Amino acid sequence: MASTRDLAVPLPTTVATMPTHQMVAFAVMVVVAAAAPFFVYPVFLMKALCFALFACAFNLLIGYAGLLSFGHAAYLGVAGYASAHAAKVWGAPPEVSIVFGTALAGVVGLLIGLLAIRRQGIYFAMITLALAQMVFFYCLQSRFTGGEDGIQAVPRGMLFGVFDLRQTTTMYYVVLAIFLLGFLLIYRTIHSPFGQVLKAIRENEPRAISLGYKADQYKLIAFVLSATLSGLAGATKALVFQLASLTDVHWSMSGEVVLMTLLGGLGTVFGPVVGALVVTGLENYLAQLGAWVGVVQGAIFVVCVLTFRRGIVGELGRLLRRPL
């Protein structure tokens, strides 16, 4: 019979500082991202950063809470529509538009989470997919979203009345700052006592409940936080492309973020960033193949799953014997 010590889930009372190898990886990521617009098309990089934040938010839910959602596109798309509407129709400045879109995504995440979190496994995934499809059809039929045309010609405006986001370089560094803020928030979350409880629930929920943790509350908080950060990515993306469309709220976008996370490395810190960059790059540079892009992406995904079972970053961390 297991002793009390064996049943206990160790929770740190203080948050450890970032390990040296992760600090080095983070510094390299920041330096490369800061210099990248001088060598690569900035709009492509901004798209990659938005999807990287989206994938990191999704990884927080599936990688650390063990919850597979097939409806995360709802938060990306809703925030995009809200941000675009606020900027174009209400004339709100970009900072207000982004906050409004992010907050609305959090509210939608709370409503969906309250319904979905009561189920587990495939039932949870199917509920999130069904509710996300309801959001999709609402966006399709609603007048303020523009239907199939979406909301076009969204003004970027002046950030805090100082930074002109119509300048591509300025817009890029604002997007980079937003991504880094979201990334550090996620890192802080997963390495906090809250994050340790999430991991305990993921590994053995009955045992965590027996120790007095209210698993449903922890999972709901993680779900809402993931939805909110996904909304932050969607609201920012709408201003980058000056467009909010049905593409971001479609079910295929939910599948795409799953692909990004698995390809980069499930449950790793930097994996979703790498996965988002790879998938976005493939879409960009293979666009000339037309409808065959999906086939090529699928083939690459199958090869990566067979050869890199832990994902790109997961396998790299295994080789270095350091978690990344």
The per-residue pLDDT for 11 is 45
CA distance 46 to 242: 12
The per-residue pLDDT for 4 is 39
**Rg of the chain in Å (alpha carbons):** 20
For residue 286, how far is the Cα from the chain centroid? 23
The per-residue pLDDT for 269 is 87
CA distances from 231 to 108, 237, 319 (A): 10, 10, 34
Closest CA to 98 of 234, 252, 207, 198: 234
The per-residue pLDDT for 212 is 86
Token couple for 154: 């969204």
The per-residue pLDDT for 283 is 82
Closest CA to 224 of 61, 88, 86, 70: 61
Q: Which amino acid is at 68?
A: L
CA distance 232 to 240: 12
The per-residue pLDDT for 157 is 84
What H or E segment, with its residue span, contains residue 121?
helix 121-141
CA distance 304 to 311: 7
The per-residue pLDDT for 17 is 66
pTM of the predicted model as reported, rounded to 2 decimal places: 0.88
List per-block mean pLDDT (blocks of 10 residues) for the chain, which spans 324 residues.
43 54 87 91 92 94 89 93 91 92 95 89 90 92 84 87 87 94 93 90 88 89 94 93 89 88 87 90 78 77 78 80 72
Q: 3-class SS at 40? A: coil
Q: Which amino acid is at 72?
A: H
Q: Where are the domains of the chain?
A: 42-250
Closest CA to 314 of 303, 300, 302, 324: 324
